[in-house]
Chain A
């Protein structure tokens, strides 16, 4: 029920984001949309806290709880843009992502996974949380990158229509994307290091063919690439925005592909 309320708040927020877009960002539509999204995040957090209390475990194991947690972390990423003025309008991209993840989680049923992993406890919680925060950072970088490319297109086509008016300034989007990428890269790397240390310490072997491992390493390289394109001459802001958009899309597509072929079923994310 609490998840449904959170979803409703997210959907309400999305409708208001689109209304604000149609009005070129005039009026208080965007402010209310952001407030609704923040309310959705609060209710969502309560829902996952109740899950933790009820089942005695964090919602980090099993597909539905994991997706819901990733959705919450992306939502928190949106709330973190509070002080960015027009930068908050990345909500128009982030909220649909949150809605999609949460809707899939709710439709699957947010319940604990039937089997327990041997990789549990604080190590596991830190590893997964850090990795999810990293992915959340990449999602925010994706949203700001996408809007950066939209605004760049509007500026290059010399139009000053409603899309131009609504979309945040290039500098704001670049700053947000860069911060999200750096924060995401650091937390994601820490998450991977934790998992690697646990594996080395307790299993003495590293299953390199595990799709989870492959996917995680690919994500890490995407982070590296998105940050790496900021080096060198030329329009590094545009390159970085493009890399964030392509990188996040690749991660989503590869995740879906690996889930289809993975024999591990519910234990992959």
Chain B
């Protein structure tokens, strides 16, 4: 049986205007998970909702009803979408789901390869499913194990491969450079020239690290004021820029001016009286806002668009090179999880298999005794012993291979095959109805470990 399925939408299947319709706010996610609880077939569920993906992991896997229930939750959130939501949704089942989650946690499925934020988002999603207020946790034993394992895999991918190494966006390059120049950003003064969206993203990233003050200067003072108010900064008129430049630690220039706004002479004049420490300049404009000669001034670190692209290209190249190494870690953790999951199911399957054929053996013996009623008791005992021995011999190899299958990652396939070929679903249903007991005790990992150890 498949352990888990996932239904979702991501940057690989839908543009942002569609993805944002599937996005759940934390409060909404709790409501959605609560609603899912009423779907009787869904035993466990975790909802992962980030700006690049919304995914619903559900147990049990391989169940059409469960997957459709999950799809309904997402479709209801998205509302009316032209052409329907199905065209944007993907489904994975069983091993593919397991591998998918590990790749997601490791940043291998991210828009920016190797980004680290997703690890925390996976953790938050898992924790949310574990603390649904007033109701039992939605993440049960299978998703608990799966998400713990995914977080471990993601952590190992980041700590042992270079997949998360280097800065992969202009904003993160800016933060990284500022840290390596100033040590920390606390108390640093930032100035933006222009009101471009990239500059805004850079400032937001810098602000998270505690800059002291932000000054926005733009030809249109209105736009400067608007941006400054959004970023909790201060707008200054363009002719005040040289004065502010003297006190600036980080300058982000992104105007659409046709000629440089910061010339070498102007720069020297602006900073001549200041006890100028280092100055980091990110010139994001084309044509450039800062004359390249300014970069030759003492203690000035000038990065233009080409420099930044080279850094980003280099980072992404190194990250791509580490993908095979990261995929090997995904394989390893997926195999471990599937072994664990297979071990949960193998004991009841073996028990059912034996019970199934023992019933057959007993029925056939009864038919035989009716035909051979003259047979003495001693001879009957011999025949019965023979039938048991034959059954043991017949089931020995399948049982052994089934246990081996758990060890080599094919356990789930084997269990499904054995269940199907020997019609164990019917057998298990009959036994379940007859006994009224579940397989909880039988399925626990300790019992399986002992069985496997004995077999070896």
Contact = CB atoms under 8 A, between A and B. Distances in A.
Nearest to B297: A235
Contacts of B162: 23-24, 26
A160 B176 contact: yes
A68 interface: no
Given A169-B181, A171-B182, A160 B301 contact: no
B315 interface: yes
B432 interface: no
Contacts of B160: 27
A158 B311 contact: yes
A235 B182 contact: no
A10 interface: no
Interface stretch (B100-108, B165-173, B373-381): B165-173
Interface residues of A, number: 23
A81 interface: no
Contact of B181 (A159, A161, A170): A170
B84 to A, nearest CB: 45
Nearest to B308: A158
Interface in B347-402: none
A151 interface: yes
Contacts of B179: 169
Interface string A152-175: 000110111110110101111001
A155 B301 contact: yes
A171 B303 CA distance: 19
B451 interface: no
A234 interface: yes
B310 interface: yes
A235 B299 contact: yes
Contact of B165 (A24, A158, A234): A24
Contacts of A160: 166-167, 173, 176-177, 311, 314-315
B180 interface: yes
B314 A169 contact: no
A23 B164 CA distance: 11
B181 A155 contact: yes
B159 interface: yes
Contact of B159 (A26, A155, A172): A26
A175 to B, nearest CB: 8
A186 to B, nearest CB: 25
Contacts of B166: 24, 160, 165
Nearest to A27: B159
A118 B277 CA distance: 51
B278 interface: yes
Given A155-B181, A158-B307, A160-B315, A170 B278 contact: yes
Contacts of A165: 165-166
Nearest to A85: B183
A80 to B, nearest CB: 18
A224 to B, nearest CB: 23
A164 B180 CA distance: 8
B159 A169 contact: no
A81 to B, nearest CB: 14
B171 to A, nearest CB: 14
A155 B165 contact: no
A156 B278 CA distance: 13
A106 to B, nearest CB: 36
Contacts of A164: 180
B180 A151 contact: yes
A174 to B, nearest CB: 9
Nearest to A156: B301
Nearest to B302: A158
Nearest to B295: A156
Nearest to B181: A170
B310 to A, nearest CB: 7
A151 B177 CA distance: 11
The 4 closest A-B pairs by CB, nearest first: A171-B183, A169-B183, A235-B298, A158-B307
Interface of B: 159-160, 162, 164-167, 173, 176-177, 179-183, 278, 298-299, 301, 303, 307, 310-311, 314-315
Interface of A: 23-24, 26-27, 151, 155-156, 158-162, 164-165, 167, 169-172, 175, 234-235, 237
24 contacts: A24-B166, A26-B159, A26-B162, A27-B160, A155-B180, A155-B301, A158-B307, A158-B310, A158-B311, A160-B167, A160-B173, A160-B176, A160-B177, A160-B311, A162-B165, A165-B165, A169-B182, A170-B180, A170-B181, A170-B278, A171-B181, A171-B278, A175-B183, A234-B298
